[in-house]
Chains A and B, each alone.
Chain A
Amino acid sequence: MLDRTIAPVIRPVEHIRFVAPERLLISPFAELLWVKDVDDEAVKIDLIFHAGKLRDKKIVAELTGELLLSGTPELSSTELNEAIDLLGGFVSVEVGPEDATVSIYGLTSTISSLIPIVMDAIINVDFSEKEFAQECQTAKQGFLIAQEKVGTLARRAFVDQLLGNTDYGRLTQLEDFSTVDRESLLDFHRLYYLKGLTKICVVGNVDRAIVEELVHRGKYVSAEKEYSFHYPFQTHPSQVYIEKEGAVQTAIRVGRILFNRTNEDYIAFSVLNTLFGGYFGSRLMSNIREDKGYTYGIGSGVAQLKESGYFFISTEVGKEVADAAIVEIKNEMQRLSTELIPNEELELVRSYSIGKLLKGSDGPFAMMDRYLAVERFGMDLQHYDEVIRTIRIITPEELKALARKYLVWEDMVVVKAG
């Protein structure tokens, strides 16, 4: 008779295989990364430009990105999209604070036709008056809709409090939509797209000739210098409340300036973060969702910037329990600083974290992300051996010391919106 109360034996993960992409130099300031080990026809190409939101007004960077495929003197936006669609291709543009990424999705059979269409479109885009006006209107509407969400209101105030004295803290205001002009987009495009390519990432089982063609094309638009990401990062603890009439939930953001992967405490802090708010069984989830039922979800994380980073907690809770939830967040922080983490809980977090690392390294697309996450800071894949080692040996005492150092309630920016 099967005894279901006895758990099957758990076997540890013995080995995680990390494979570096092949690297091809495009220019002194740009390179191509290639993971070719894909077992089907899928191909994804990311073109990464030094065209993030901190280089100009946020709205200029965003509109330029949105309008990259809005047509050239030869092709209207519709003709261009028609050509991409006919090849079964998909293109998306994401503008982040530091970079803008154009992603092309296609198949091994079509990618060589998609590449010149997309790259020529990016280079020759003319930001016509009509396309510019339409996109402004669309973006403005999106902005107004987002402003109706408590999550947006809280995030904006949080960014302002935490990063307001740096270019990462830029926020779009409603009036920006009426003052922004086409010329600024043309300038931004010239500076950060025509001379802004920093990386091409190819995941796909394509012919080498295609990769070489990308290197060749990349030369014409590659970055010509290193850019600075240096700012005076510093937390000024504060408490902000934004009232939103009619809201039934309150968005909460708590956090502080911290560091990125290059800091010696980063890996250990990541373990602490997982335990605190980084997985379904975390302290925050267990207390605020699974015990109190205040929220659908709560989590914490470390957002990494090129030369710094910040720690954040994010949740939306019932309006009537918002203050109670904040008290619980504070309690959970203090518990980590005053009590040692029980062994059983730490063992669980060790196994979970290593399993998560294994899952996050599964498959060619995940492997590219893994590589980029360290390459961005000038590190290599050996960093993950250090991650595994730290997860395995970190002690409750070390974690408590980290909490005392970095998770101090009085150091936090606290924002409520709702």
Chain B
Amino acid sequence: MIHYEKFILENGLRVLFHHDPNTPMAVVNTLYDVGARDEDSSRTGFAHLFEHLMFGGSVNIPDFDAPLQRAGGESNAFTSNDITNYYNSLPANNLETALWLESDRMLSLAFTPQSLEVQRSVVIEEFKQRYLNQPYGDVWLEFRPLAFKEHTYQWATIGKNIQQIEEATMEDVKAFFNKFYTPSNAILCVAGNLKLEEVKTAVQKWFGDIPRGQHPERNLTPEPAQKEYRVKTISRKVPSDAFYYGFKMPGRTEDGYYTADLLSDVLGRGQSSRLYVRLKKELDLVADINAYVLGAHDTGLLMISGKVNDGVDLDRVDNEIWKVVGALRDIEITAIEHQKNVNKVRTTKVFSEQGVLNKAMGLCLHELFGDANGINLESEHYDAITPSAIRESANKMLHQENCSRMFIKAIK
């Protein structure tokens, strides 16, 4: 159970406070409700590029990191297709330094041309390092547009290509900030061995006078129900053939999300899962195989992916995967197999909430979904799922008309 208090400032900023008596550190986590899904199709990669610029100085403070480091702290951030999340951790008695820095960049950025030019290059190197210069690195650049035709999930957070990052202008940067970086579009969590009243006072002091701005309306085109099996094969200079299947599934806050998550565990989480046992241990067809969900906030994907053994035909693997999938539609899993996956989820949850930073991030995310307390209800959701619900979920999702499949053929 993660306890928290919540209050809302007049400008619309939602604030959560988690009291942890056991840590000497404080965490200031800020989630902005903006991700790659909010980008224009001709300006992709922008939410992430923007995240880099948030460290390039704000309106009153030329440098973000140095003052935080001087206070014994450090900071980082990540961007996903759904959100952008910034976090600072520092000794608790210097909490105010983090609030000062975080509030000033919510107020306004420095918008220096030097920062844009440098971060543009840094992000292009990141693009190369993670997506272009790695074997199988461009999988998601190729797979997303196959699986999503209307929704903006059709591009990866890094962007469609380097060219669009090269073309970003300062005007774009300013417009993006003004539209999305408003107090009412953010959720702040302060956590540590602090008192509610001191947190309230300090947050009010630093964030209270930030103008409300206009709350951005999100108006994304929903991904229409998929009606055809989409297949694509690409060739790459990689050592082994690889396969990727994506089944459309409910978004993070939609009914059926947790059931689909457990279904993916039955299929391919760990070495006693169905796909692993059948394709790897019994048939010796693959070197590795996994199933997992992406956790997208809107329509998501349940993924099956892996790499085949030398000399094994991808069509043979394909055939066997569909047999395993078909069995889940036809026959209910046993109570024991079900309990196994519920137990694994329970352990994972305990470990994923270790440390004050993980708790703060989790609270912000659930507040975005509508209620921070959702983090404390997740176990109940999983416990309520039955084997028959999993079979139903398989019948709803695991068929070809709901699936996109990509093969990577190795060029030797």
Does B38 sit at the interface, judged by CB under 8 A?
Answer: no
Which residues of B (182-229) have their CB < 8 Å from a CB of A? 205-206, 209
Contacting A at CB under 8 A, from B358-391, are none
CA distance A281 to B121 in the complex (A): 18
B70 lies within 8 A of A89 (CB): no
Q: Mark A371-411, 1 if CB is under 8 A from B, else 0.
A: 00000000000000000000000000000000000000000
A149, B107: Cα distance in complex, Å: 42
Contact with A along B303-325 (1 / 0, CB 8 A): 00001011000000000000000
- Interface readout for A92-109 with B: 1 if CB under 8 Å, 0 if not? 000000000000011100
State which of A24-32, A304-312, A357-365 sits at the interface with chain B: A357-365
Is B235 located at the chain interface by the 8 A CB criterion?
no
Report whether A8 and B96 are in contact in the complex, using a CB–CB cutoff of 8 Å: yes
Name the contact of B23 in the complex, choosing from A86, A110, A362 (C-beta under 8 A).
A362
Query: Does B174 sit at the interface, judged by CB under 8 A?
Result: no
Stretch in A53-61, A165-173, A222-230, A348-356 with 4+ CB within 8 Å of B: A348-356
- Measured between beta carbons, the chain A residues less than 8 angstroms from B59 are 4
Q: How large is the interface on A (under 10, 10 to 19, 20 to 34, 35 or more residues)?
A: 35 or more
Chain B residues packing against A (C-beta within 8 Å): 22-25, 59-61, 65-67, 69-75, 89-91, 93-94, 96-97, 100, 103-104, 107, 117-126, 128-130, 132-136, 205-206, 209, 237-240, 270-272, 277, 280-281, 284, 287-288, 307, 309-310, 336, 339-341, 343-348, 350-351, 353-356
Chain B hits for A351, CB < 8 A: 69-72
* Residue from A13, A85, A291 in contact with B118 in the complex, judged by beta carbons closer than 8 Å: A291
Residue of B with least CB distance to A133: B284
Assess whether B135 is in contact with A149, with CB atoms less than 8 Å apart: yes
Chain B residues closer than 8 Å to A142, beta-carbon distance: 287
Interchain CB contact (< 8 A) of B93 among A11, A78, A249, A354: A11
Interface residues of A (CB under 8 A from B): 2, 4-5, 7-11, 13, 16-17, 39-42, 77-78, 81-82, 84-90, 105-107, 110, 134, 137-138, 141-142, 144-145, 147-150, 246-249, 279-281, 289-296, 316-318, 347-348, 351-352, 354-356, 358-359, 362-363, 365, 418
Q: A77-B271, A85-B272, A281-B65 are in contact. Are A105 and B347 (CB under 8 A)?
A: yes
* Interchain CB contact under 8 A, B343 and A348: no
A147–B90 alpha-carbon span in the complex (Å): 39
Given A88-B346, A145-B135, A247-B133; A4-B107 close (CB under 8 Å): yes
Name B240's contact: one of A16, A110, A144 (CB within 8 Å).
Answer: A144
Pick 9 A–B contacts, CB within 8 A, sort by A: A8-B97, A88-B345, A88-B347, A90-B348, A107-B346, A147-B239, A248-B128, A296-B122, A352-B69
A5 touches B60 (CB 8 A): yes
Q: CB-CB < 8 A to A41: which residues of B?
A: 350
Taking a contact as CB atoms closer than 8 A, the residue among B24, B104, B341, B354 that contacts A4 in the complex is B104
Kindly name the residue among A13, A88, A348 whose own CB sees the greatest number of chain B CB atoms within 10 A. Answer: A88
Q: Which residue of chain A lies nearest to B99 when distances are taken between CB atoms in the complex?
A: A8
On whether the beta carbons of B240 and A40 are closer than 8 Å, the reply is no
Report the Cα distance A135→B237, complex, angstroms. Answer: 24
Count contacts between A and B, CB distance < 8 Å: 207
**Chain B residues within an 8 Å CB radius of A293:** 117-122, 125
Minimum distance in angstroms from B359 CB to a CB of chain A: 11
Minimum Cβ distance to chain A for residue B412 (Å) = 11
Q: Which residue of the partner chain, among B73, B100, B134, contacts A7 with CB atoms under 8 Å?
A: B100
Which residue among A11, A106, A149, A279 has the maximum number of chain B CB atoms within 10 Å of its CB?
A: A11
Q: Which of A42, A90, A358 contacts B25 (CB 8 A)?
A: A358
Smallest distance from the beta carbon of B285 to chain A beta carbons, Å? 11
Which chain B residues border A148 with CB–CB below 8 Å? 134-135, 237-239
A317–chain B nearest beta-carbon distance, Å: 7
Among A88, A247, A295, A363, point to the contact of B343 (Cβ < 8 A).
A88
Residue among A16, A77, A148 having the largest count of chain B Cβ atoms under 10 Å: A148
Minimum CB distance partner of B282 in chain A: A78
List the 3 closest A-B pairs by CB distance, nearest first: A355-B72, A293-B121, A88-B343
| With A13-B72, A363-B355 already in contact, 20 other A-B pairs whose C-beta atoms are closer than 8 Å | A4-B60, A7-B100, A8-B94, A8-B96, A11-B94, A42-B350, A42-B351, A88-B340, A106-B347, A144-B240, A145-B238, A150-B133, A280-B69, A289-B122, A292-B121, A316-B129, A352-B74, A362-B23, A362-B25, A363-B23
B234 CB, min distance to chain A CBs, angstroms:
16
Kindly state the separation between the CA atoms of A352 and B135 in the bound complex, as whole angstroms: 37
Distance, CA A148 to CA B411, complexed state (A): 13
Chain A residue contacts of B288, Cβ below 8 A: 138
Q: How far is B75's CA from A358's CA once the two chains are assembled, in angstroms?
A: 15
Across the interface, B61 reaches (CB within 8 A) one of A4, A10, A134, A246, namely A4
Report Cα–Cα, A82/B22, bound state, in Å.
Answer: 36
Min CB–CB distance B66 → chain A (angstroms):
6
**How many whole Å from A159's CB to the nearest CB in chain B?**
21
Q: For A296, give its contact among B74, B91, B103, B125 (CB under 8 Å).
A: B125
Contact partner of A348 (CB less than 8 A), chosen from B70, B310, B351, is B70
Contact A2–B133 (Cβ < 8 Å): no
CA separation between A273 and B310, bound complex, in Å?
45
Asked, given contacts A145-B135, A289-B122, whether A359 binds B340 with beta carbons under 8 Å apart, the answer is: no
- On chain B, the residues within 8 Å of A4 by CB distance are 59-61, 100, 103-104, 107
Residues of A close to B287: CB separation below 8 A: 137-138, 141-142
Query: Among the listed B90, B100, B343, B354, which residue makes an inter-chain contact with A86, where contact means beta carbons less than 8 Å apart?
Result: B343
**How far is B237's CA from A358's CA once the two chains are assembled, in angstroms?**
46
Whether the pair A356, B71 counts as a contact (CB closer than 8 A) is no
- The residue in chain A whose Cβ has the minimal distance to the Cβ of B270 is A85
Q: Is the CB of A78 within 8 A of B277?
A: yes
Q: Tell me which residues across on chain B come within 8 A of A246, comparing CB atoms.
A: 237
Which residue of B is nearest A245, CB measured? B237
Is A249 a contact of B69 with CB atoms below 8 Å? Answer: no
Interfacial chain A residues near B104, Cβ < 8 Å: 4
Instruction: Report yes or no: A248 in contact with B70, Cβ–Cβ below 8 A.
Output: no
Q: Is the CB of A81 within 8 A of B118?
A: no
